[in-house]
Amino acid sequence: MTEPRQVIIAGNWKMNSTPGGAGQLAADIAAATRVDSVSRVICPPYVCLAPVGAALGGTGVAVGAQNVHSESAGAFTGEVSAAMLVGLATWSIIGHSERRRDQGETDELVARKLVRCTENGLRAIMCVGEQLAERRSGKAEATVRGQLERMLAELSRLGAALPVDLVIAYEPVWAIGTGLTARGADAAAMAQLIRAVLGDAGAANAGADLPVLYGGSVTSATIDEFLAEPDIDGALVGGASLKVDEMAGIVARAGLTAAARAKSAGAAAR
């Protein structure tokens, strides 16, 4: 029986919460989202990783970082390496569009971050997505294809392979924090393109099995549009991930998708 793709809901807290309050918020979210069939991840700021990890012990909710440095160690003041996160996080977001915008991160740099994640056993959620002008001019798919191909070229230059547990988040930049969302069908088409580009690279697990999440103004009211698409495997949630009720609604909806996938996989096996 082919295993259905995992349904994943990851919360990106961005630069919100404090070490004093983060543990309680994480515990409240874990208690309100007890759906074991959904892989749940909370990505708080670095300084909140320890209290969030302590609060999430035994809940089944994983802890993720929001970024790692592209080098292993060295004279990089204020930066955090993937090795430093071992024991604090098991996942990391890389290549988020806010970092591409504010820190000038390139696809090549993101590829090096991916290598650091793999070396240290962190499961990466790599973000890709187009700007509004690119979507309007019909270049959205070419933009995302270009991002993936530059990332793959850098991996190949480094002699590194795509990790088998990679997750891609398709996040149209114009949908992040704006209240605008992509259409489910457009996000699904992009997920197909992402699987095709990475599958063509011949990497294990990069084709049909690759989880692709949607991100950009996901709430309990907008999640259905995306999870109704068989090509979309969950969401990377920003603003709404700080709200317990919102996360409860999003994860409950994701649980329906996970249950439907398990049922159809079971039926196919009979």
Q: Which residues bind ligand PGA (CB under 6 A)?
A: 12, 171, 176-177, 215-218, 236-240
Those residues with Cβ within 8 angstroms of residue 116's Cβ, 6 or more apart along the chain or in another chain: 68, 69, 70, 71, 72, 81, 82, 83
Is 69 part of the annotated catalytic residue set?
A: no
Minimum Å gap between C-beta 35 and ligand PGA is 20
Q: Mutual orientation of helices 184-200 and 140-158 as an angle, nearest 10°?
A: 30
Q: Which residue lies nearer to ligand PGA by CB, 12 or 147?
A: 12
Q: Please state the closest distance from residue 178 (CB atom) to ligand PGA, in A.
A: 7
Containing 42, the helix (H) or strand (E) segment is: strand 38-43
User: Helix count (H) and strand count (E) of the chain?
Assistant: 10, 8
Nearer to ligand PGA, 70 or 217 (CB): 217
Q: At 47, is the secondary structure helix, strand, or coil?
A: helix
Quick one: 49 or 214, whose CB is closer to ligand PGA? 214
Residue among 69, 96, 98, 246 flagged as catalytic = 96
CB 194 within 8 A of CB 212: yes
| Minimum gap (Å) between residue 171 Cβ and ligand PGA | 6
In the bound complex, what is the minimum distance in angstroms from residue 190's beta carbon to ligand PGA? 15
Which residue of the set 98, 105, 171, 246 is catalytic? 171
* Alpha-carbon span 124 to 155, nearest angstrom: 14
Q: CA-to-CA distance for 78 and 236, rounded, in angstroms?
A: 26
130 included as an active-site residue? no
- The residue of the chain with the least Cβ separation from ligand PGA equals 238
DSSP letter at 128 equals E
Q: Which is nearer to ligand PGA, 161 or 252 (CB)?
A: 252
Catalytically active residues, by annotation:
96, 171
